[in-house]
Structures are given as C-alpha cells and as structure tokens.
Amino acid sequence: MGSEYLVLDTKAEIDFLKVSNQDLIVKIEVFPEDIKSIQEECRIKKKTIRIYFIEVLDPAEHKIAIVKKTIYIRKLNPSFPITSRL
C-alpha cells in the first residue's frame, strides 16, 4: 500500500481442519484491482476494514486450516505526522 497508509492486522481466527507435523505453506495474493478499491475507499471514507480467508496447506497441498484475517487500513494524514503514524 505504501508509506502513506497504515495497515494493521487487527484480528485472526483459525479453523483447524487436520493435524499436521509438517512445515505448512500459506499463499497470500492481493490483486491490483483490490488495491485500487482499497485506495478509493480510503480516499472517500479515510479507512476500510477488509476480511481475508487464507488457506494453510501442507507440502502435498492438503488444506490443514483456514485463517480469517481482519485487516484495518487507513490513509495517513500528512498534516499530522506525529498523531497519524505509529
């Protein structure tokens, strides 16, 4: 998103589907059209909350868990650099 946005991982829920003692793999992809939508929403509302569902896979690509992530995103105000940045 760039340094002009604050992005916080505010919540996560994990639904474990299977037990695994192997290394696990997570693939996360946010598409350019999603980035544009987020930027537009932040331009209008100053902030947005997005929920993403992420699959956790084992090396054989069996689904081990599903993670529900809640992400808070807001446009930083350059006029208030101290209060708008963490």
Q: Which segments in the chain show pLDDT lower than 70? A: 80-86
Reply yes or no on domain 5-75 having CATH 3.90.550.10: no
Domain spans in the chain, listed from the N-terminal domain onward: 5-75
Q: Point out which residues pair with 63 in neighbouring strands.
A: 57
Please give the Cα distance from 8 to 48 (Å, whole number): 11
What's the predicted TM-score (pTM) here? 0.79
Check residue 4 and give its pLDDT.
87
pLDDT, tens only, 13-30:
999 999 999 999 998 999
User: What does the block give as tokens for 38?
Assistant: 């987020």
